[in-house]
Amino acid sequence: MDSEPKDEREGLPSASGIEQMKLCPGSWNYQKMFPSSGGSDANEGTIRHDLIEQVIRGDITLDSIEDDQQHECTKRALMLLEKVELEAGVSNHSNQWLEKRLWLNQNEDKVYSAKYDLLREYEGGIYLLVDWKTLYGDHTPAPDNIQLLAQALAVYRNSEGMKKMYCSLVEPFPSPSFSLVEYSTERLEQLESLVTTIVSEANKETAEKVVGLKQCKFCNGLAHCADVAGTIQEEAHLGADYRFHPDDTHLGWALEIAVLAEKWASAVKSRAKEELGNGEEVEGWKLRSSGKVKSISDANLCAERIMDTNLLKWEDLLTTTSISISKLVKVWMEKRNESGATLKRKDAVEELEQILEGIITEKPKAEALVRAK
Both 230 and 310 in a single domain? no
Q: Residue 164 falls within a domain, yes or no?
A: yes
Half-sphere exposure in the Cβ direction for 348 (13 Å, CA): 21
Rounded distance between C-alpha atoms, residue 312 and residue 355, angstroms: 26
Both 306 and 255 in a single domain? no
Both 192 and 310 in a single domain? no
Both 193 and 269 in a single domain? no
Burial class (CB in 10 A: 0-12, 13-18, 19+), 252: exposed
Q: Residue 292 falls within a domain, yes or no?
A: no
pLDDT given for residue 249 in this prediction? 53
The per-residue DSSP string of 312-339 comes to S-HHHHHTT----HHHHHHHHHHHHHHT
What single letter denotes the amino acid at residue 20?
A: Q
Mean pLDDT, to the nearest integer, of 117-145?
Answer: 94
Both 29 and 163 in a single domain? yes
pLDDT of 126 > 90? The answer is yes
Rounded distance between C-alpha atoms, residue 69 and residue 73, angstroms: 6
Q: What is the pLDDT of residues 262-279, one digit of tens each?
A: 999 999 999 999 999 999
Both 19 and 148 in a single domain? yes
If one counts every other C-beta atom within 10 angstroms of the C-beta of residue 304, the result is 10
Both 185 and 228 in a single domain? no
The residue length of the chain stands at: 373
pLDDT of 218 > 70? The answer is yes
Both 259 and 351 in a single domain? no
pLDDT given for residue 246 in this prediction? 45
Q: What is the pLDDT of residues 37-57, one digit of tens each?
A: 655 566 899 999 999 999 999
Query: What is the reported pTM?
Result: 0.80
Both 218 and 185 in a single domain? no
Q: Residue 287 falls within a domain, yes or no?
A: no
Higher pLDDT, 242 or 77: 77
pLDDT given for residue 4 in this prediction? 47
Q: Cα separations (Å) of 204 from 23, 26, 34?
A: 15, 8, 18
Burial class (CB in 10 A: 0-12, 13-18, 19+), 260: buried
Mean pLDDT, to the nearest integer, of 185-196?
Answer: 97
Q: Residue 241 falls within a domain, yes or no?
A: yes
Q: Residue 8 falls within a domain, yes or no?
A: no
Q: What is the pLDDT of residues 235-254, one digit of tens each?
A: 777 665 545 554 455 677 77
Q: Residue 18: left (phi > 0), alpha (psi -120 to 50), or beta?
A: alpha
Q: Which residues contact 73 (CB under 8 A, 6 or more apart)?
A: 48, 51, 52, 134, 172, 173
pLDDT given for residue 108 in this prediction? 86
If one counts every other C-beta atom within 10 angstroms of the C-beta of residue 327, the result is 11
Q: Residue 291 falls within a domain, yes or no?
A: no
Rounded distance between C-alpha atoms, residue 57 and residue 76, angstroms: 16
Both 245 and 321 in a single domain? no
Mean pLDDT, to the nearest integer, of 50-73?
Answer: 93
CB of 196 closer than 8 Å to CB of 111? yes
Mean pLDDT, to the nearest integer, of 323-337?
Answer: 89
CATH number of the domain encompassing residue 155: 3.90.320
The domain in which residue 324 lies consists of 300-355
Q: Residue 370 falls within a domain, yes or no?
A: no
Instruction: Of 316, 322, 319, 349, give the one whose Cα is nearest residue 333.
Output: 349
Classified as helix, coil or strand, 296 is coil
Q: Residue 366 falls within a domain, yes or no?
A: no
pLDDT of 256 > 90? The answer is no
pLDDT of 368 > 80? The answer is no
pLDDT of 3 > 60? The answer is no
Handedness of CA 204, 209, 212, 213 (dihedral sign): positive
Rounded distance between C-alpha atoms, residue 67 and residue 75, angstroms: 12
Q: What is the mean pLDDT of the chain?
A: 90
